[in-house]
Amino acid sequence: MLRARSLVLSPPLAGFAVLFAAAEAVKFLRGDALWGTIDLVLAVLLAFVCALTRWFTRDDASPGPVTRGRALPLQLLACAVVLAATGLGPLVTYHDVPSWLHVPLWDSARRAIFDAAARFAPLPIANGIANFSAYCLPIGAVLLVLGVPLGQQGLGKFRKGSVASAVAWLALPLGVFAYAWFAGRASPISIAYAWLSNFLQNGVSEEFLWRGAVLGRLRAVMKPEYAIFVQALLFGAWHAGADLNAYHGDALNAAADMVASQATFGLAAAYVTLRTGNIAIASAFHLLFDSMQILQ
């Protein structure tokens, strides 16, 4: 069970706090104080809403039973294959990474889906369809065949306190968009388009893959608090390609960003998913958070 005190007092969280502090130190010492400050503020906000989630769900916090069985090694292998296929593509766009790390058949299939969707939909929507097809459909289908129900892939029954938790998570980002609308910084159409674009691109696709399939299978081999920690670090590493490009090959700053930004987000998203029983809140927050790029 993910008891109210289990994550707060767990060695994984203590270890993650040390990693986060080290990542922030790297950012400030290497001239990235702006994003270091942003990541620190975001981490504080995420810790606050996680604390609220813990309070709201304190009467029903068990993640429930986990399917294991003889097929567990195949389930874990399927997750590893999908993570490699979806993560290595962006990584090899950086010129210092060998091209043999490509997964040719997977990349070709995703590109074909994107091209087909782009004939009928705007590019961000087409990218969302391609992401959903690559991140969700293969792993979801394989895990179902291997005996993992959708309830253990992040689509379980909501637990008591989920509505209050949703308010805690979504009130601030929705408030930011409301302010942007009334202040004239973004139109309702641009906001709606950003939400729609990020709905499949990130909100559903990444959350189903990571907080649904991957987190669910990690729970089958380790305690929930360790599963949260491991998937958070893997989620950060999965963004290596994007971070290397953003920092122009500065591997140390890129690694710091993986921890301070993506892994921290993954830790919080996994926590609310396990406490509420469903990826919906994390998915909604994810799409709102990524949609804020239009306000920059």
Question: pLDDT tens across 214-272, in order?
Answer: 999 999 999 999 999 999 999 999 999 889 888 988 999 999 999 999 999 999 999 99
Q: What pLDDT shows up at residue 4?
A: 46
User: pLDDT tier at 285 (50, 70, 90 boundaries)?
Assistant: very high
* Helical ranges in the chain per DSSP H: 11-29, 33-56, 72-91, 104-118, 123-135, 137-145, 162-182, 188-198, 205-207, 215-219, 224-238, 240-246, 251-257, 264-276, 280-291
Residue 108 has pLDDT above 60, yes or no: yes
Mean of pLDDT over the chain: 89
The pLDDT tens digits of the residues spanning 125-158 come to 999 999 999 999 999 999 999 999 999 999 999 9
Give pTM, 2 decimals: 0.92
Cβ-count burial 91-104 (b if 16+ within 10 Å, e if not):
bbebeebeeeebbe
User: pLDDT tier at 100 (50, 70, 90 boundaries)?
Assistant: very low
95-109, 171-185, 199-213: the lowest-pLDDT one:
95-109
Mean pLDDT of 78-91: 83
By percentage, how much of the chain surpasses pLDDT 90? 74
Q: What pLDDT shows up at residue 9?
A: 62
Mean pLDDT of 102-128: 86
66-80, 88-102, 174-188: the lowest-pLDDT one:
88-102
Q: What pLDDT shows up at residue 7?
A: 58
Residue 8 has pLDDT above 60, yes or no: no
Tell me whether residue 35 is exposed, middle or buried, using C-beta atoms within 10 angstroms of its C-beta: 0 to 12, 13 to 18, 19 or more.
middle
User: pLDDT tier at 193 (50, 70, 90 boundaries)?
Assistant: very high
83-97, 105-119, 218-232, 279-293: the lowest-pLDDT one:
83-97
Mean pLDDT of 48-63: 85
